[in-house]
Structure 1
């Protein structure tokens, strides 16, 4: 009977296996049998969780290293196309870069020359990433500057880039009705200039009068706001000098060298513009002998010409084509009548022209009523599907046609 009781009442008669903790000498001091068993169970549980926690920390650390690594994980994806023809062309010569077409009628195409990589690989990049950074838009590109005694003059870069290309405001390149609005006379009135820069949408092109004041300061403010800009050059009108465009007017009877010097003075007043626009000039733009050297200078310096459309006999379009100068012409002057209703009606006429032809150009001056009307109309035109674009977007560029 005593032997049976040692088997713990098991009906099988199997011997009872004792835990080492069943012995008092092996049990931790101060713990009963149940408490000692708990210690071993909790120790195993803690060890498992400690190992799991360390594994989680290692995984998170590895993920952080991958996320913060500069290359190649944070570089925009590129599509690489390699062909035998590309390899041989790369080995022979590096092709000259080309720039977006700014003519009307569709999306701009950016052709990227093959980089200097082994195997002649051609890298195709996202064109939307090539836009000008507005944070530095007020800073001139030193490769596009000729330093002279009278000031900086625009010039083509050694790689062929033009101010017309570099300082142009990006646009969508989409098909559809496009309107370029150019507001001139900036720099003449300080308050009017400030209001135009502050209130006009950045898609509106601003034209600076060469005879204005504080032009460099105003240019920088306009560029920081995102505006494309052009320079207004005084050209001889009919009834000159009774009707006087201002200092250093280019005239029909002046020697070509004298007119060149006067043009250089106007061009040196600011930087970061895509081209020039005539200020008056009814007589000058009809004289071929005067216009030829004038357009020769624009071509040499990579600038466009914007005709304000005031002279029906202007030779500018033909001269621009012959001299390979980017060219645009205004369709309507919107504020010959300084009435808000009349200005809005003219802008509606511009919209109809754009819908019929694909694009249209409106010009005006930095009067308060003009600035207010244009600001209102641009917001409404956008909702009607009209894209407001910089003047360079609708210019005919013979070098890209």
Structure 2
């Protein structure tokens, strides 16, 4: 102790470091040795043990081949497979021949395509195929309307019924097509998922079809007819682009009918270019009669568009008694003026009432005709 106290401070520090060095534990060297042992053990196992699955459980299962029992698979494996189809529906050139609608010709130049259009009456656009007048002057109105036959020459009063709102509910539309007389004209909204199929079913059953076009009402957008509604104040080009999109939803229609549109049809500035386009393409226009301010009649005449105006909405009150009363009023109008047009929705009660009412018309001396027969 005395020596430590008498020893200089630097000497004491040196001795302390020497003592600590004597008791230092070689931890780093020990860790290196352990790592080398682990790596060596793994390497020895890989070399000495033949187990590529690493000890994972495995099961061998016998696989029975069924190739010899599948003749098509055998043909594909050994060479090109030949599948025989009806050459009348699936020609060798890969095209598909659609079933012609009633009244359509079956020669190659008159056969409709899968979309329901005659090739000469179809124009391709960015939105799809839309109707047009042919180079020979044939119009979609003349090509796709239903022939009224002897009803036009018999001199009897005539009534046309147009059912609107079809195509949204596929099964409901097909039920209406089955129930309604062939002379009833059918108008399809442009928003259904299977419009091509339902329209084809309607035309195959003998109905003439129309396209509904949404036009701006006075309370738009609170009351909205749907996407691509044509609006007042927009440029003619914008509204025509909407019209082309709407016209490309399906084919085979002879004309269009407005869905709402009290504001739009009252504006000659906005309605004029639309009616001019319909005239250039040979389509008809049916005014649903909902607005007394519509200028559609004057514009149709100026553009040589086949035109008519409906006189009544048959199921404004969708109750059977009210529907039958409205149909009776339509009969009185036809007896007085020679012809009348009624609009009815695709509600099941409306379809049933019209179907039953139509069976009694012949006995009353009134002819049920497609609406195109009453369009000038």
The separation in 2 between residues aligned to 1:381 and 1:357, in whole angstroms, is 17
Say how many residue pairs are matched.
Answer: 266
In the other structure, the counterpart of 2:268 is 288
The answer to whether 1:132 aligns with 2:132 is no
TM-score (normalised: structure 1) = 0.65
The answer to whether 1:204 aligns with 2:181 is no
Quick check: 2:117–2:131 contact (8 Å CA) kept in 1?
A: no
Quick check: 1:299–1:325 contact (8 Å CA) kept in 2?
A: yes
In the other structure, the counterpart of 2:232 is 252
The separation in 2 between residues aligned to 1:319 and 1:133, in whole angstroms, is 30
Deviation at 1:133, TM superposition (A): 4.4
In the other structure, the counterpart of 1:163 is 140
Quick check: 1:134–1:225 contact (8 Å CA) kept in 2?
A: no
Deviations 1:92-127 (A, max 9, x none): xxxxxxxxxxxxxxxxxxxxxxxxxxxxxxxxxxxx
The DSSP-based 3-state class of the residue aligned with 2:359 is helix
The answer to whether 1:147 aligns with 2:127 is no
In the other structure, the counterpart of 1:67 is none
In the other structure, the counterpart of 1:385 is 365
Quick check: 1:229–1:274 contact (8 Å CA) kept in 2?
A: yes
Match of 2:322 among 342, 348, 354: 342
Larger Rg belongs to: 2
The answer to whether 1:356 aligns with 2:356 is no
Unaligned runs of 5+ in 2: 1-101
In the other structure, the counterpart of 1:365 is 345
Quick check: 1:134–1:223 contact (8 Å CA) kept in 2?
A: no
The answer to whether 1:224 aligns with 2:204 is yes
In the other structure, the counterpart of 2:83 is none
Unaligned runs of 5+ in 1: 1-130, 397-401
Quick check: 1:134–1:224 contact (8 Å CA) kept in 2?
A: no
Quick check: 1:134–1:226 contact (8 Å CA) kept in 2?
A: no
The separation in 1 between residues aligned to 2:246 and 2:350, in whole angstroms, is 25
Deviation at 1:212, TM superposition (A): 2.3
The separation in 2 between residues aligned to 1:339 and 1:381, in whole angstroms, is 21
The separation in 1 between residues aligned to 2:275 and 2:224, in whole angstroms, is 22
Deviations 1:262-293 (A, max 9, x none): 00011111111110000000100000100110
The separation in 1 between residues aligned to 2:216 and 2:237, in whole angstroms, is 16
TM-score (normalised: structure 2) = 0.69
The DSSP-based 3-state class of the residue aligned with 1:289 is helix
In the other structure, the counterpart of 1:191 is 171
The DSSP-based 3-state class of the residue aligned with 2:163 is strand
Deviation at 1:331, TM superposition (A): 0.5
The separation in 1 between residues aligned to 2:292 and 2:184, in whole angstroms, is 25
Matches within 5 A, 1:67-146: 132-133=103-104, 139-146=116-123
Deviations 1:333-365 (A, max 9, x none): 000101011101101111111111110000011
The separation in 2 between residues aligned to 1:134 and 1:212, in whole angstroms, is 28
